[in-house]
Amino acid sequence: MNVLECDGLSAARIAGSPCVHEVDLKVGKGEVIALLGPNGAGKTTMLETLAGLLPREAGKVVVGGVELPSGNPRSAVRNGLVLVPDDRALFRRLTTEQNMRLAVKSRGRKAAAQEMEVALEYFPALRKRMSVAAGQLSGGEQQMLALARALLQKPDVLLIDELSMGLAPVIVEAILPVLRQVAADQGTSVILVEQHVHLALGIADRAVVLVKGRIHLEDDASALAADLGRLEAAYMGE
């Protein structure tokens, strides 16, 4: 069953000037997709449009059988699609715990505590940092917090833009397998934009290469990892 379906999706940062063109994409339950491509390919624009932060120029987005209205981020979240942006969008003056509690504020105290505990099992390094302001966390801890907060929103589809932004590769290597585990444990589908291509391919089921706003290559991640020449050619638009 496809959890997310894009049909003819076109998107733009400036209305009337699309930089993503007629993208068709289907994502299955618990599938991890590495969305790859050179700088300026339209990857961030595509994620922000899926999340409703930007209105669609054309096409439709369906999550769990429900067609999402264009440019409506609240509807996207209500229907199970959550974005972790490249700047992580944390409340820097609030503590780690307060940032997490914002995601469960509408739930009862017991349920909220249980859900936060599940999130902390994925990111145990945060346990000792619960009373620390988000702005005082390390870059890796901030990314863990952003992901934990996103998981607390119980997404069916988790969009992650440039997880490794500003992080050392060793930190990225520690965080990426958690996404694979979340997909396996909870059936959460993941679309990951990541500059460390080999690390992304290592945890993804499938890779989609976007070049000049169009899907130029799509294949099993393992197949592309074994034939990086195809990936390099795609990046060059060949």
Domains of the chain: 2-80+155-236 (3.40.50.300), 91-154 (no CATH)
State the average pLDDT over residues 93-122: 92
189 closest CA partner among 30, 39, 72:
30
State the average pLDDT over residues 106-114: 86
pLDDT band at 15 (very low <50, low <70, confident <90, very high): confident
**Least confident among 20-34, 78-92, 105-119, 188-202:** 105-119
Q: Render the burial of 163-178: b for 16+ CB within 10 Å, e for the rest.
A: bbbebeeebbeebbeb
pLDDT band at 125 (very low <50, low <70, confident <90, very high): very high
pLDDT above 90 as % of the chain: 88
pLDDT the model gives residue 65: 95
Listing DSSP states for 148-169 in one string gives HHHHTT--SEEEEE-TTTT--H
pTM recorded for the entire structure: 0.94
CB atoms within 10 A of CB 4: 24
pLDDT band at 138 (very low <50, low <70, confident <90, very high): very high
Q: How far is CA 39 from the centre of its chain?
A: 17
Q: Is the pLDDT of residue 235 over 90?
A: no
pLDDT the model gives residue 172: 93
State the average pLDDT over residues 146-159: 97
The SS3 assignment for 127 reads helix
132 closest CA partner among 98, 174, 89:
98
